Chains A and B, each alone.
Chain A
């Protein structure tokens, strides 16, 4: 089994009030020096079988049509190495 991670973020020009709320809370919590926070989504897909080019292409289509709304969001697809020692 392999894991593919899809990260979805609002496009830079889209206002992210949730990220702003997190950022504004930071000084109160004693975290200084963070000028901006943007909040996104991370999807972890456990893939049966090999993660070859065809599988990645299908996941790319899935991300583009469903996991992200490309009117407002950008996404990245990457294969995550699952460390054997952790298992």
Chain B
């Protein structure tokens, strides 16, 4: 018996297949979820993947946030369902107010695609227990709207509570405040980040490292031991 992890496909999602592949390589069972279905098919956790859901119209993640599947995900995430938002998925989580702050266009106004060095600041979330706090990892980053913003009060609160889960190291690629690459909610079940761990799970592709795989093994261990 392994864990079942859902991956939502919205119109415009790009990385749903890569995310399902990463889940499978970690040893869990990937389950395809559809944006129009309220039903989560009894999955144990959900990944909101990268892409340009609904064409990024209005604001990134703004329309996806109101899709039928998100109604269920928002309710269940508040009740403890583990949810990982990657890139566009992170943007959807901020629009849904499951995570504080908001995402805006990169400060240099260009799309960026690079291998990015990150520091794991919080290794206690549902998605990061297979890392150690302070560990530095390389995973791909590719986005247009990666600038994390929040007011000073929120930023101070995130820092004080250890909820800055990932920080950019050596180079801030998009103007994110306080070099924030990813954050977690208070309970640690909802995590969002801009870089793409699902693209760094096999030595053959991506950064040539498997630094992204622990996201998926972390959640699998948590669910199987639960």
Contact = CB atoms under 8 A, between A and B. Distances in A.
Interface stretch (A15-23, A25-33, A52-60, A79-87): A15-23
Contacts, number: 34
Given A15-B175, A66-B66, A72 B149 contact: yes
Contacts of A10: 104
Contacts of A13: 151
B-side binding surface: helix, strand, loop or mixed?
loop
B17 to A, nearest CB: 29
How big is the A interface, by class? Answer: 10 to 19
A14 B102 CA distance: 11
The bracket for how many chain B residues form the interface is 20 to 34
Contacts of A67: 58
Nearest to B63: A66
Interface of A: 10, 13-15, 17-18, 21, 66-67, 69, 71-72
Interface pairs A-B: 7 shortest CB-CB = A71-B102, A72-B102, A17-B107, A17-B109, A69-B102, A69-B59, A14-B149
29 contacts: A10-B104, A13-B151, A14-B149, A15-B104, A15-B107, A15-B147, A15-B149, A15-B175, A17-B105, A17-B106, A17-B107, A17-B108, A17-B109, A17-B175, A18-B105, A18-B109, A21-B109, A66-B58, A66-B66, A69-B62, A69-B95, A69-B102, A71-B100, A71-B101, A71-B102, A71-B150, A72-B102, A72-B104, A72-B149
